[in-house]
Structure 1
Amino acid sequence: MRESPIDDFWVRARAAVPTLPAAVPEAWAFGATATDADALLSLVLDGTKTGTASSLHDCEADGDALPEPGQLSVILDGSDLPRAVIMTTAVEIVPFDQVSAEHAYSEGEGDRTLGAWRAIHESFWREYSQDPRGFSADMPIVCERF
């Protein structure tokens, strides 16, 4: 049987880091487009991006489990190829308008300010939200650090 690119990636990752578990973690890409995935992955690979945010409403609408500290993820590029492994270190759920400047900085986008984070993410959720409630300033945000 031929292995998938993710399975092959995981075999190589485990060869490099033997303490990784045998089970292949969930694989996913940042953003909503291939361009987003590549740009945000680049920030992860260069060490700039150490955080991400998700709409709790979107997670619920999609049936996605919330991240938990210690959880591993395989990060895909815009072509759905595995490129990185991250480990969640912290998760906090806060209203959009209470996301901290520290978290905004950890996401590595724009000029890394809270103002830029809010503009980028409001635009993102207005365009791509999976939940019919869409964007609101008090919507719950899953702030994940890795």
Structure 2
Amino acid sequence: MIDEMEDLQVTYPGAGTFTFSDEKVQSDALLELVRAGKKTANSAALAEFDGDPEALPKVGRHDIAANWDGTAALIIRTVSVQQIRFCDVTEAMAVTEGEDNTLDAWRKRHEAAFRRDGGFDPEMMLVFETFELVEDLADR
């Protein structure tokens, strides 16, 4: 894995590594949604980035989406980043996250997740990132 990650850092300098979820089943499912072209966006509470502004997504940056075991799965490139209130997310935005077909379903799932993670407010600021799949590393 170290050699693979070093190779990816040469090919995609500055790429960060992350998993799409803190649960294996969901992480695996989200990787498959990206592979299928159904997931092209991510959102997170802006507060998650307090104290680490460098962690905010940046347009043009490549990142490595990892499998649950830490091995590299996908390379994505950030296309756009928007800070937006939870209550202002549109249906078109919500469905690009790939898990929900309606804004109402997206809101219910995200509200529950934000409550579990320490707090929810319909006016809370989110970081909404759209991305494109650059490389599926399963093809390497």
Scaled by the length of structure 1, what TM-score is found? 0.80
1:37 to 2:33 alignment: no
Q: 1:114 & 1:3 partners in 2: Cα distance?
A: 40
In the alignment, what sits opposite 1:6? Answer: 5
1:135 to 2:134 alignment: no
Among candidates 50, 64, 69, match of residue 60 of structure 1? 50
Report if the CA contact (8 A) 1:89-1:145 is conserved: yes
Shift of 1:79: 1.9
In the alignment, what sits opposite 1:124? Answer: 113
Q: 2:6 & 2:24 partners in 1: Cα distance?
A: 21
Q: 2:113 & 2:5 partners in 1: Cα distance?
A: 27
In the alignment, what sits opposite 2:65? Answer: 75
Runs of 4+ in 1 over 2 A off after TM superposition: 2-8
Amino acid at match of 1:48: K
In structure 2, the gaps of 5 or more residues are: 132-140
Q: 1:40 & 1:116 partners in 2: Cα distance?
A: 16
Amino acid at match of 1:79: D
Among candidates 69, 83, 89, match of residue 93 of structure 1? 83
In structure 1, the gaps of 5 or more residues are: 15-19
Scaled by the length of structure 2, what TM-score is found? 0.83
Q: 1:99 & 1:4 partners in 2: Cα distance?
A: 40
Shift of 1:102: 1.1
Aligned pair count?
130
1:47 match: secondary structure: coil
More strand by share: 2
Percent of pairs with identical residues: 30
Shift of 1:32: 2.1
Among candidates 37, 50, 56, match of residue 47 of structure 1? 37
2:76 match: secondary structure: strand
1:144 to 2:133 alignment: no
